[in-house]
Amino acid sequence: MTRELPMDFTGGYCIPIDHNVEKNHPDCTWPRKPLALSSIMAIIHTPKHSKDSGQMKEHFASIISAIGEDLTRPGLADTPERAAKAFEFLTRGYQQKLDDVVNDALFPSDSNEMIIVKDIELYSMCEHHMLPFIGRAHVAYIPTGKVLGLSKVARIVDMFARRLQIQEQLTLQIAETVKSVTGAEGVGVIVEAKHMCMMMRGVEKQNSVMKTSAMLGSFRDDPATRTEFLSLVR
Ligand SMILES: Nc1nc2c(ncn2[C@@H]2O[C@H](COP(=O)(O)OP(=O)(O)OP(=O)(O)O)[C@@H](O)[C@H]2O)c(=O)[nH]1
């Protein structure tokens, strides 16, 4: 079945952003035109959900009953509550605010050399099956006067990973956010991950790895910068 995914156009390539955005956003037309960075940031930093763990607990109880299990047996009695808590944790990115995540950890620096944070492990969940995808992110940027606290790069990765995602969107969100927070002249992000929806079910391929990248600013425009990033990541 061919499916039209809602698309956004950023930095020269298209990625799905959000099912509601395309319908509602006046800039989202076809053929696509670039969204202003402020619009992108507003979209990706606005949590669209408020948590309700009581409701989640009830829903998990319904799912357990629906698969034919006995909710009253001792092993399962507390499972709806545990599952709700786990799910809340796994999707906590919706509750996070960028300002809190960054916590003003931006420091003046004269460096204009590439900064890379490699091998940031990530745990996310595909929005199609709500099954995990697990992998690593490599994030690089070239600062222009200020650098970001090292841990904050990993926190930004987590903030977006801990939502229902597709890998392409996650990759771009990390890149756009690092760029907007640091004002970097360029940002490169590579994510490599294995998707449980392809391993545990469906096509059942155990060894395929998905690699996605987002190159912004000089990482996009300057082949030497991109090559340096790719060689350092390798
Ligand atoms: N591009 C992309 N696709 C993803 C990601 N996570 C899951 N998918 C894919 O989303 C698609 C959903 O396809 P559907 O045909 O609607 O669902 P399905 O019948 O469960 O598909 P199968 O997984 O092929 O059994 C599948 O091809 C998944 O592999 C992701 O991060 N990026």
Tens of pLDDT along 60-80?
999 999 999 999 999 999 999
Higher pLDDT, 157 or 42: 157
174 and 125 part of one domain: yes
> What end-to-end distance do the CA atoms of the chain give, in Å?
37
Does the annotation flag 197 for ligand binding?
yes
- Look up residue 99 and give its DSSP letter: H
Work out the average pLDDT over 116-143. 98
In this predicted structure, what is the pLDDT of residue 234? 87
Q: Is residue 8 part of a domain?
A: no
Q: Whose Cα sits closest to atom 23 in ligand 1? A: 202
Is a pLDDT exceeding 60 seen at residue 15?
no
List Cβ neighbours of 132 (8 Å cut-off, separation of 6 or more).
123, 124, 125, 126, 196
User: Cα(135)–Cα(210) distance, rounded to whole angstroms?
Assistant: 9
The pLDDT score that the predictor gives to residue 53 is: 76
164 and 200 part of one domain: yes
214 in the same domain as 110: yes
Q: Are 118 and 229 in contact (CB under 8 A)?
A: no
Q: Whose CA is nearest to atom 2 of ligand 1?
A: 166
Q: Label residue 46 by pLDDT band (50, 70, 90).
A: low
Q: What pLDDT, on the 0 to 100 scale, is given for residue 48?
A: 52
Question: Quick check: is 122 in a domain?
Answer: yes
Q: How many C-beta atoms lie closer than 10 Å to residue 89's C-beta?
A: 9
Q: Which of 96, 165, 167, 173 is catalytic?
A: 167
- Check: complex ipTM more than 0.90: no
Based on the fold, state whether residues 209 and 128 are members of the same structural domain: yes
Same-domain check for residues 70 and 185: no
Helices (H), 25-166: 37-45, 53-66, 74-77, 79-90, 98-102, 150-161
pTM for this model (two decimals) = 0.81
Domain tally for the chain? 2
Query: What is the reported pLDDT for 29?
Result: 35
**Rounded distance from Cα 200 to ligand 1 centre (Å):** 13
pLDDT in tens, 159-216: 999 999 999 999 999 999 999 999 999 999 999 999 999 999 999 999 999 999 999 9
Decide if 126 is catalytic: yes
Asked whether residue 215 is assigned to any structural domain, the reply reads yes
Residue nearest to atom 19 of ligand 1 (CA): 202
Q: Cα-Cα-Cα-Cα dihedral of 126, 130, 132, 135, to 10°?
A: 10
Q: Which two tokens stand for residue 118?
A: 């490699």
| 122, 222: one domain | yes
Query: Is the pLDDT reported for residue 27 higher than 60?
Result: no
Domain contains 24: no
Query: What is Dmax (Cα atoms) for the chain?
Result: 63
Range(s) of the domain holding residue 66: 53-90
Q: What is the pLDDT of residue 7?
A: 35
With tokens 């319908």, the residue in question is 23
Residue 10 · residue 174 · CB < 8 Å: no
Sheet holding 132-142, edge to edge: 164-165, 115-126, 132-142, 186-195, 210-217
